[in-house]
Structure 1
Amino acid sequence: MKIALFGATGRVGKDILLLLLKNNIEVTVLVRDPEKVQLHEGLTVLQGDARNRADIERALENADVVISALGTDQTTVLTESITHIIATMKNRNIRRIVTIGTAGILDSRTEPGLLRYESSESKQRSKVAAKEHHRVFQILSTSMLDWTIVCPTYLPSGDVTNDYIIERDRLPVGAVRTTTGDTALFAYNELMENKHIGYRVGIMSPE
């Protein structure tokens, strides 16, 4: 299996990259600053911008699967990149994509018909990031690809506990935090097992 990974220098992306390399999976990463990525056998580092169609095409040239751990960066980088990623995947007959989203785009438990960021469940003052993730969800939903969106809640840096709890399309009851390690591990496990294709998956780490 050959993976194209976007967002490899981010907090979750770095953990995903380590898991992939630890398990001897070939990875190509597209990053703006290659100096932020440590060279490793089986790793191809490309310099570029995920908002650029030509750079996306280079990154997916030999890929079987795509993982995006890109952050919003308070811009439209997610929607710009996912549009190019999907188009290139279709051109290259790549079907599987796992992305890292946010708990804000999960279904509200208290207000049916709304997502969490649209409801009183959300504690975030700014909705900019959630709206961008929502647009990515909408785009993936109509893409006809085999997608999964991993949706952590409050995301402190932290190690793998491997005791995380998940729920499709909703945040597990009592969720307070999700470590970066657990988020990366679940994304990796989902990539290997393909248990939640076509779903947003809420995830929480134990207290």
Structure 2
Amino acid sequence: MNILILGATGRVGSRIAALALQDGHHVTVLVRSPDKLDLVRGNVTIIEGNALSKTDMQRAAAGNDAVISALSTDGTTTLSETTPLIVETMLQQNIRRIVTIGTAGILQSKTSPGMLRYQSGESNRKLTRAAEEHHRAFDVLLQSPLDWTIICPTYLPDGPPLGAYRTERDFLPDGAAAISVSDTAEFAYRQLTSVEYVKSRVGIAY
């Protein structure tokens, strides 16, 4: 499979890229700073560019079968600005499958029906800016015809993969406290070839 990975210099994105390369897939990464990449060299194409550039995005997406976006909010509006461009490019190039990394804040609230977690008292976070960015990106995907899945982890510490975690469609599993970067990346990567959570958000936690 040919996979475009956005956010490959981040904690989750770099791990997803490593898993794909280990399995022999061809990986394309679009990065602003190639020197920040920590990848085992393999069947990889590195494109230096900006995800906010239509030209760079089209160049990176060409010839790929699927997209994984692990772009972060990074204190900016990059995520909400980039997502419509990703959708437009994928439709132009007839790419249907996209898996993105979101946040538990955009899952449905169990205590306040009809609200998202970050909008309710269910979330412990005082600041909602990042969740609002992810919410805008979610809305774009929700309105698109793409086969999307948004992985929504709770607290993300580093650590080895345990391989034993809980997932729930559109909600965060009860009692959720954390999920490692490694297990989040492994689960997100597996969704490329799964139809279980197409057009869904997925809460993930131990």
TM-score scaled by structure 2? 0.97
1:60-108 Cα offsets, whole Å, 9 max, x none, are: 0111100000000111111111111100100011100000000000000
Identity among equivalent positions (%) equals: 51
Structure 1 residue 39, shift from structure 2 partner: 5.8
Residue 137 (structure 1) aligns with:
138
Residue 6 (structure 1) aligns with:
6
Q: Which runs of 5+ in 2 are unaligned?
A: none
The aligned amino acid for 1:22 is Q
Q: For 1:115-154, what aligned pairs fall within 5 Å after superposition? A: 115-154=116-155
TM-score scaled by structure 1? 0.97
Moved over 2 A (4+): none
Q: Give the whole-Å Cα distance in 2 for the aligned partners of 1:19 and 1:59.
A: 19
Q: For 1:16-27, what aligned pairs fall within 5 Å after superposition? A: 16-27=16-27
Structure 1 residue 158, shift from structure 2 partner: 1.7
The aligned amino acid for 2:36 is K
**Contact 2:108–2:114 (8 Å) recurs in 1:** yes
Q: Give the whole-Å Cα distance in 1 for the aligned partners of 2:24 and 2:36.
A: 21
The aligned amino acid for 2:172 is L
Mapped pair 1:85 → 2:86: yes
Aligned residues: 205
1:140-184 Cα offsets, whole Å, 9 max, x none, are: 001010000000001111221110110000000010001001100
The aligned amino acid for 2:13 is G
Residue 35 (structure 2) aligns with:
35
Residue 55 (structure 2) aligns with:
54
**Contact 2:18–2:40 (8 Å) recurs in 1:** no
The alignment's C-alpha RMSD in Å is: 0.9
Residue 158 (structure 2) aligns with:
157
Q: Give the whole-Å Cα distance in 2 for the aligned partners of 1:148 and 1:39.
A: 27
Residue 68 (structure 1) aligns with:
69
Q: Which runs of 5+ in 1 are unaligned?
A: none
Residue 113 (structure 2) aligns with:
112
Q: Give the whole-Å Cα distance in 2 for the aligned partners of 1:108 and 1:80.
A: 26
Structure 1 residue 194, shift from structure 2 partner: 2.4
Q: Give the whole-Å Cα distance in 2 for the aligned partners of 1:51 and 1:21.
A: 25
